[in-house]
Amino acid sequence: MVLQRAANRLFADALADGAFDILEGHWLRLEVSDLGLAWSFTHDRNGLRFAEACAPSVTIRGSWRDFLLLAGRQEDPDTLFFRRRLVIEGDTELGLAVKNLIDSLDPDSLPPWLWSAMRRASQVVQENP
């Protein structure tokens, strides 16, 4: 799967540091509710593994806009969750650990072109609500 290979490559440093170990034995589902898109993944000895049908331990749901603002570091994760713009369902403790993981990921470990594109896109979205 292309997405699986890309995710493992993009997050290679974080995977090597054990950042995704919290997902071992658990499935995380990310849902972009306004686009009808969803991805479920876990972490095992081979890295991140994606699946279409699984029973997620935790689901994080939000709009494309809020996920982009989060990815581009234009909005604080706590603000998005406390204002219920991003919603955690299921294992809340795991969901909060994932939220902290997202916040701890170093954007400088991403390819510069990708981080620059995400940053610019999120700035445009922030300036044009």
The pLDDT tens digits along the chain (129 residues) read: 799 999 999 999 999 999 999 999 999 999 999 999 999 999 999 999 999 888 999 999 999 999 999 999 999 999 999 999 999 999 999 999 998 898 888 888 888 999 999 999 999 999 987
Domain boundaries, the chain: 2-127
Pairs from 36-44 (Cβ < 8 Å, separation ≥ 24): 39/3, 41/4, 41/7, 43/15
Output the pLDDT for position 38. Answer: 96
The CATH number of 2-127 is which of 3.80.10.10, 3.30.2350.10, 1.10.1060.10, 3.30.1050.10?
A: 3.30.1050.10
Output the pLDDT for position 109. Answer: 87
Pairs from 105-110 (Cβ < 8 Å, separation ≥ 24): 105/11, 105/14, 105/19, 106/13, 106/14, 107/73, 109/11, 109/12, 109/13, 109/14, 110/10
Cα radius of gyration rounded to whole Å, the chain = 14
d(CA 43, CA 23): 5
Output the pLDDT for position 56. Answer: 97
Output the pLDDT for position 26. Answer: 97
